[in-house]
Each structure stands twice: as structure tokens, then as C-alpha cells.
């Protein structure tokens, strides 16, 4: 399994469509066996789902993400864990432990910032990423 995290300076980057790099974790038997930071090379909103699919990513951990990108990830079969902040490594550890708090539908539409809400967080131990 491969998990990607929007990445900046060790932390989950807050906006999927503007991320300049992902940290991609290779997981085997429930443990990270390899991790590398991969630049997006200027790929924008529309191309990032394909970028992740091309890298064999199964799950994405990110901050805010718009509905179009959410749909593109779903179409690519990539499980989304949005609304996350803090240490990228810690969020991956939590995902693997089944305790990652995230917000279903954590949309971030930077064109309509008024009333912006990234949703409530909940513990999602019942979701799995295979």
C-alpha cells in the first residue's frame, strides 16, 4: 500500500491543489518500509489525482481539498483523508493505527472564503485503506 501526504516542512500542507510536493510512504504488513518526498513539478488541481495514481498511491492525507479534486481522487480509486494538520509522519502513523481524525468532505474553496468550514473531525478507526 502507498500513502501520500501533501507535504511542506514535515507537516501536512493545507491545500491539496497548491501542494508542491507529496511525501509518499510505502507500507508493508502495517508498517512504513520506505518514504520519499516527491515534487509535483508544477502539477495543478486537475493533474494531481493523475500524478498520485501514476505513483501507485492508494490513500491521500491532506488539509483542505475542493470538490472537483475529491471527485477526481474517487474516480482514481484513491481513499481520501482530508482536514488533517500537523506532522505528516504522525498522521500516517495514526492512519495505520486506525485512529486518524479527519473530516469527511473537508472542502476548501479558495474562491469563496466567507463562511469557510473544513468540517468537524472524528476518529475514523472503522475505515481502512487497502
CB atoms within 10 A of CB 14: 18
Pairing of strands 79-81, 59-61: parallel
What are the sequence ranges of the domains in the chain?
A: 2-123
| DSSP secondary structure letter of residue 86 | S
* Pair 21, 37: CB distance under 8 Å: yes
Using a cut of 0.85, tell me whether the model's pTM lies above it.
no
CATH of 2-123, one of 3.30.420.130, 1.10.10.10, 3.30.365.10, 1.10.3470.10: 3.30.420.130
> What does the pLDDT read at residue 4?
98
- Average pLDDT for runs of 10 along the chain of length 130: 97 93 96 96 76 96 92 94 95 95 59 35 34
∠ at Cα 84 (78, 90), nearest 5°? 95
> What does the pLDDT read at residue 107?
52
CB atoms within 10 A of CB 79: 18
Amino acid at each position: 500500500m502507498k500513502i501520500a501526504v501533501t507535504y511542506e516542512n514535515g507537516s501536512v500542507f493545507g491545500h491539496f491543489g497548491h501542494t508542491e510536493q507529496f511525501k509518499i510512504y510505502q507500507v508493508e504488513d502495517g508498517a512504513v518500509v520506505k518514504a520519499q518526498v516527491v515534487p509535483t513539478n508544477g502539477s495543478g488541481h486537475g493533474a494531481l489525482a493523475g500524478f498520485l495514481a501514476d505513483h501507485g498511491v492508494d490513500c491521500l492525507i491532506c488539509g483542505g481539498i475542493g470538490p472537483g479534486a475529491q471527485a477526481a481522487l474517487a474516480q482514481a480509486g484513491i481513499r481520501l483523508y482530508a482536514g488533517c494538520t500537523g506532522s505528516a509522519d504522525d498522521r500516517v502513523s495514526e492512519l495505520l493505527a486506525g485512529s486518524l481524525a479527519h473530516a469527511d468532505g473537508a472542502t476548501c474553496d479558495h474562491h469563496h472564503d466567507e463562511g469557510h468550514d473544513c468540517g468537524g473531525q472524528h476518529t475514523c478507526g472503522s475505515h481502512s485503506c487497502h
